[in-house]
Copies of this chain bind each other. A is one copy, B any other.
Amino acid sequence: MTYCVGLKLDRGLVFAADTRTNAGLDNIATFKKLHVWEERGDRVITLLSAGNLAVTQAVISILSEHINTAPEGRPTLMSVDTMFQAARLVGSAVREVRAIDGEALNANADNFFVTFILGGQIKGEEPRLFQIYSAGNFIEVGQDTPFLQIGEHKYGKPILDRVARPDMRLGEGAKMILLSFDSTLRSNLSVGMPIDLLLYNKDSFSAERQLRIQQDDPYFQKLSKGWSDALRDAFTDMDPLDV
């Protein structure tokens, strides 16, 4: 499994992805699921992936290779003018991988299942955030729900539902997302540390605010413990049910 979140705020975008992959419970490994394409001053494009690792890696490889090898005039992530066109490129890459591997996966009773969160900003546009499905089609985040989740989304959704607001600062958004990860990590073994994070400031066209949060990260440990304590205190302060 996997857990990734994309958040669209007034001030920019926040992305987070865990790094655990597993083929069965007895075969786990660490793989990066947060991928960034950047041209300083012009664009930052981020892709978070969940699903079959061979498929997601193939999609990423196609997108990356095309940047250098695509024939003149064929659009790439570094040449498209809008994030909508970038989302279509990702969708096309998904369909290309299905055309190559889909039949063999079916024959092996494996699922062709992937989802992506794509977000970023290209000069001339506002920051945008998309979710791309196995079929290669996609949706874009509007005003009403500022976040997208892929993978094991349920454990960490209540905190997002309660707290997420478009006018949050990026650091507040990252804090909220880390609490959402904390709940997920406690409940689902197939989501694991470290967590990759990217905070993208609107109109910065720079992906410099990236970090990897390890298990022993002091901020994350303090956050996790502080949240547990605060929840327990809040719980204790409320009246029990009297029947």
Contacts and interface: CB of A to CB of B under 8 A. Distances in A.
Chain A residues touching B, range: 35 or more
Nearest to A235: B163
Interface in A172-220: 172, 174-176, 178-179, 183, 186-187, 197, 199, 209-211, 219
Contact of A238 (B154, B199, B226, B239): B226
Given A230-B234, A232-B163, A183 B171 contact: no
A171 B243 contact: yes
Contacts of A241: 171, 174-175, 178, 197, 199, 219
A64 to B, nearest CB: 25
B232 A231 contact: no
A162 B187 CA distance: 10
A154 B187 contact: yes
A186 B158 contact: yes
A169 interface: yes
A227 interface: yes
A169 B242 CA distance: 11
Interface of A: 154-155, 157-159, 161-163, 169, 171-172, 174-176, 178-179, 183, 186-187, 197, 199, 209-211, 219, 222-223, 226-228, 230-232, 234-235, 237-243
23 contacts: A154-B155, A155-B158, A158-B183, A158-B187, A161-B187, A162-B232, A169-B240, A171-B242, A174-B240, A175-B238, A175-B240, A176-B235, A179-B235, A199-B241, A209-B243, A210-B243, A211-B243, A219-B241, A219-B242, A223-B239, A230-B230, A231-B234, A234-B234
